[in-house]
Amino acid sequence: MRDTQSTKLLSELSRPGRRGAKIGPLDVPAVNIREKIPAYALADAPLPLPELSELDVVRHFTNLSTLNMSVDSHFYPLGSCTMKYNPKRNERLASLPGLLALHPYQPEESLQGMLRALWELQGMLAEIAGLHAVSLQPAAGAQGELTALLVAAAYFKDRNEDRTNVLVPTSAHGTNPASAAMAGFKAIGIESDREGMIDLNDLDRKLDEKTAVLMITNPNTLGLFEHQICEVAKRVHDAGGLLYLDGANMNAILGIARPGDFGADMMHYNPHKTFSGPHGGGGPGAGPIAVREMLEPYLPTPRVVKRGETYSLDWKKPKTIGRVRSFFGNVGILIRAYAYILSHGGEGLADVSRYAVLNANYLLAKLRDVLPVPFSKGCLHEFVGSASELKSERGISAMDLAKRLLDYGFHAPTVYFPLTVKEAVMIEPTETESRETLDAFADAMRTILSEPVELVQSAPHSSSVNRPDEVRAAKEQHLAWSDLSVTASKESIGPVSPSVASAGERA
Ligand SMILES: *Cc1c(COP(=O)(O)O)cnc(C)c1O
């Protein structure tokens, strides 16, 4: 059970004069700080930092860490995010002193091993993409999108083509239109048809000589393969545009379909989703991009190159868009991806995708009678259920389901995304889950739907906070949790079921 100490803020635990470490007497001549630092840069009084013992701090963070759900502690079926188990072997490899202790300012001769691994990773990612060249620099999928769009802008500028528009399906991740806007393009939405695919008629209406890029996620955010992708690519290319693949869903098609083969000219990977980078808490991630040959001159510098048996950083690319991140990218994440790809091998990667698809279809089959799935034909690695009927008939929303699952020890699925499905519940089990886990999750969903509605509507009952006001929490970060709770207290809903009580003790 949670005691009140462990959910207090550091500022609430603070006591004047309490310290974690004692600093010894000064053994150098004292300096008057006011002579060394300009007055405008000095505070009038010491900052009101919390004053705590080391044990206070250790307990605070250790207890907080146990309130979290993670892939290592709980099933985490977060659609679109591919929260798979990240093998500890890759963590160990990335922590080898020969990799971990490198400094990016070391001379290249002393970085040969690292540069070789990065060079080889570029080749592997190009091969998996079916594309020509790779930049490992972007620090996240979203930055990969931005980088690729800047590359496209440089390409069109070089060709004296004035193309201002980026087309984005309405089911796309929000980063797609945001990246288009940041790169200076105008984002234009494309509707989906009744099967959840790109509406070709709407595409034709919006494609013209102003189209720079169509951004597509394939498989799309409904977990469906855009089976018209070759036709879509042809129409975009006929209009003189480029096709961008948002690679967040590569976990469904590794070694089975290659974006370059189905018409993509550029793409990003999310190694923290697909290739075992630790994921969550805001990073670090990585977002390598792969592009077709004619776009290579514009890629960010430096590029990792091999001349003879020597690896080096190539800065001499006259048409490059320049740097998008410091050094060579988030190398720690890239090394994990390298280890993951090497340890699976080609056939192993294809198996990753086959099992991811099998697991999603298994869950889909177990759940569709209680949670309608509007677009389920040809589901790949994830599916999107709709709580729309549940909400209108029984008052149970997607949010209620997600919150109640926490009481059963499952991380909530993605909810309310994609926007094209009402009351969306987006479930992606990934290939690393056992059949027993999938069965337990399906059982929990069914149990929840047989429970009294009030119990579900007021969940979670096992966590330290109930339903915080998320907007306020984001905007007023100094608030204590107790200030943010917006729903009824636990006492008002009566007893909870035994499984919930035990989940509560664990959580
Ligand atoms: C996660 C995701 C992104 C953004 O990637 P980040 O690495 O989080 O920046 C873009 N598109 C889709 C479909 C995603 O799921």
Q: What is the pLDDT of residues 320-340, one digit of tens each?
A: 999 999 888 899 999 999 999
Q: Is 35 helix (H, G, I), strand (E, B) or coil?
A: helix
β-partners of residue 266 are 244, 291
Percentage of the chain exceeding pLDDT 90: 81
pLDDT at 379: 93
φ and ψ at residue 485, rounded to 5 degrees: -65, 135
**Band of residue 494 on the pLDDT scale cut at 50, 70, 90:** very low
Ligand 1 atom nearest residue 287's Cα: 7
C-alpha 175 to ligand 1 mean position (Å): 7
Q: What is the pLDDT of residues 73-99, one digit of tens each?
A: 999 999 999 999 999 999 999 999 999
pLDDT of 489 strictly over 80: no
Does the beta carbon of 217 lie inside 6 Å of ligand 1? Answer: yes
What is the rounded distance in angstroms from the CA atom of residue 300 to the CA atom of residue 41? 36
**What mean pLDDT is predicted for residues 203-231?**
97
Number of C-alpha atoms within 13 angstroms, CB side, residue 419? 8
* CA of 462 relative to ligand 1 center, distance in Å: 30
| Rounded distance between C-alpha atoms, residue 500 and residue 506, angstroms | 10
Task: Tell whether the model's pLDDT for residue 480 goes beyond 80.
Answer: no
Q: Minimal CA–CA distance to 439: which of 359, 377, 504, 379?
A: 359
Determine the pLDDT at residue 133. Answer: 98
Which of 430, 70, 93 lies closest to 250 in space, CA to CA?
430
Beta strands 424-427 and 414-415, pairing class: antiparallel
Which residue's CA lies nearest to atom 15 of ligand 1?
Answer: 80
Residues in the chain: 507
* 3-class DSSP assignment, residue 313: strand
CATH number 3.40.50.620 given to 89-344: no
* DSSP codes, 454-491: HHHHT---SSSSSSB-HHHHHH-TT--HHHHB-S--GG
Nearest 5°: phi and psi at 322?
95, -165
Nearest atom within ligand 1 for CA of residue 81: 15
Mean per-residue pLDDT, 182-211: 96
357 Cα: distance to centroid of ligand 1 (angstroms):
19
Q: 142 CB less than 6 Å from ligand 1?
A: yes
The Cβ-side half-sphere exposure at 406, using a 13 Å CA radius, reads: 25
pLDDT score at 234: 98
- Distance of CA 141 from the midpoint of ligand 1 (Å): 5
3-state secondary structure of 219: coil
Query: Among 37-46, 268-277, 482-491, which is the least confidently predicted range?
Result: 482-491
DSSP state of 6: G
Q: Which of 78, 80, 82 to mutate to test the pocket of ligand 1 (most atoms within 8 A of CB)?
A: 80
* Dihedral, 487, 491, 496, 501 alpha carbons, nearest 10: 100
> Cα of 124 to ligand 1 centre, how many Å?
21
CA of 110 to the centre of ligand 1 (A): 35
What is the arithmetic mean of pLDDT over 497-507?
34
Q: How far apart are the CA of 425 and the centre of ligand 1, in A?
A: 17
- If one residue of 136, 168, 175 were mutated to test the ligand 1 pocket, choosing by the most ligand atoms within 8 A of its CB, it would be 175
Q: What local confidence, expressed as pLDDT, does residue 3 receive?
A: 55
Name the closest-CA residue to atom 11, ligand 1: 173
Please state the atom number of ligand 1 nearest to the C-alpha of residue 221: 13
Q: Binning pLDDT at 50, 70 and 90, where does residue 141 land?
A: very high
Most confident region among 4-18, 152-166, 480-494 by mean pLDDT: 152-166
d(C-alpha 3, C-alpha 253), whole Å: 46
pLDDT at 282: 58
The chain-wide mean pLDDT, for the chain, equals 91
Q: C-alpha dihedral over 385, 390, 395, 396, to 10 degrees?
A: -40
Predicted pLDDT of residue 172: 93
**Ligand 1 atom 7: residue of nearest CA:** 141
At 491 the pLDDT is 41
Tens-digit pLDDT profile for residues 338-360: 999 999 999 999 999 999 999 99
Task: Establish whether residue 285 lines the binding site of ligand 1, counting it when its CB lies within 6 angstroms of any ligand atom.
Answer: yes
Mean pLDDT on 58-70:
88
Classify 37 as helix, strand or coil.
Answer: coil
CA atoms within 13 A on the CB side of 291: 22
> Distance, CA 173 to ligand 1 centroid (Å)?
7
Judge if the beta carbon of residue 246 lies within 6 A of ligand 1: yes
Ligand 1 lined by 248 (C-beta under 6 Å) = yes
Q: pLDDT: is 114 or 482 the higher one?
A: 114
Pocket of ligand 1 contains residue 287 by CB under 6 Å: yes
Q: What is the torsional sign of CA 153, 157, 161, 163?
A: positive
Which among 178, 241, 173 has a CA at the least distance from the CA of 204?
Answer: 241
The string of pLDDT tens digits covering residues 433-459 is: 999 999 999 999 999 999 999 999 999
What is the DSSP secondary-structure string of 67-122? HS--TTTSB--BTTT------HHHHHHHT-HHHHT--TTS-GGGGHHHHHHHHHHH
Domain spans of the chain, in order of start: 4-65, 89-344, 358-506
How many other CB atoms are found less than 10 A from the CB of residue 222?
A: 28
91 half-sphere exposure, CB direction, 13 A CA radius: 6
User: Nearest residue CA, atom 6 of ligand 1?
Assistant: 141
First to last CA, the chain: 8
- Maximal CA-CA distance, the chain: 78
3-state secondary structure string across 405-428 = HHHCCECCCEECCCCCCCCEEEEC
Query: For residue 354, which amino acid is it?
Result: R
Looking at residue 473, what is its pLDDT? 80
The confidence band for 280, taking pLDDT boundaries of 50, 70 and 90, is low
Is residue 233 predicted with pLDDT exceeding 90?
yes
pLDDT in tens, 148-157: 999 999 999 9
The answer on pLDDT for 230 being more than 90 is yes
Ligand 1 center to residue 246 CA distance, Å?
Answer: 8
Q: Which helix (H) or strand (E) holds 199?
A: none
Q: For the residues 422-432, what does the mean pLDDT come to?
A: 97
Q: How confident is the model over 416-435, as a mean pLDDT?
A: 96
For residue 106, give both structure tokens.
């070391």
Ligand 1 centroid – CA 295 distance (Å): 22
pLDDT digits (tens, 9 = 90+) for 383-404: 999 999 999 999 999 999 999 9
* 3-state secondary structure (DSSP) of residue 292: coil
**How much distance in Å is there from the Cα of 410 to the middle of ligand 1?**
22
Nearest residue (by CA) to ligand 1, atom 8, is: 141
CA of 212 to the centre of ligand 1 (A): 21
Q: Calculate the CA 252 to chain-centre distance.
A: 16
Which ligand 1 atom is at minimum distance from the Cα of 144?
9
**Homologous superfamily of domain range 358-506:** Aspartate Aminotransferase, domain 1 (3.90.1150.10)
Angle, nearest 10°, between helix axes 141-158 and 175-182? 40
pLDDT given at position 64: 86
Average pLDDT of the residues in 120-129:
98
Question: Across residues 142-152, what is the average pLDDT?
Answer: 98
- Cα(459)–Cα(467) distance, integer angstroms: 8
Q: Is the CB of residue 140 below 6 angstroms from any atom belonging to ligand 1?
A: yes
Q: How far is the CA of 142 from the centre of ligand 1 (A)?
A: 6
Nearest CA to ligand 1 atom 5: 141
CA dist., res. 506 & res. 460, Å (int): 14
Predicted pLDDT at 502: 35
Residues near 326 by Cβ (< 8 Å), separated by ≥ 6? Answer: 104
Can you tell me whether residue 366 is helix, strand or coil?
helix
Mean pLDDT of 412-428: 95
**What's the angle, vertex CA 415, arms to CA 402 and CA 444, rounded to 5?**
30
**Of 1-15, 273-287, 398-412, where does the model show the most confidence?**
398-412
Atom of ligand 1 nearest to the CA of 142: 9
Ligand 1 nearest atom to the CA of residue 80, by list position = 15
Has this prediction a pTM greater than 0.85?
A: yes
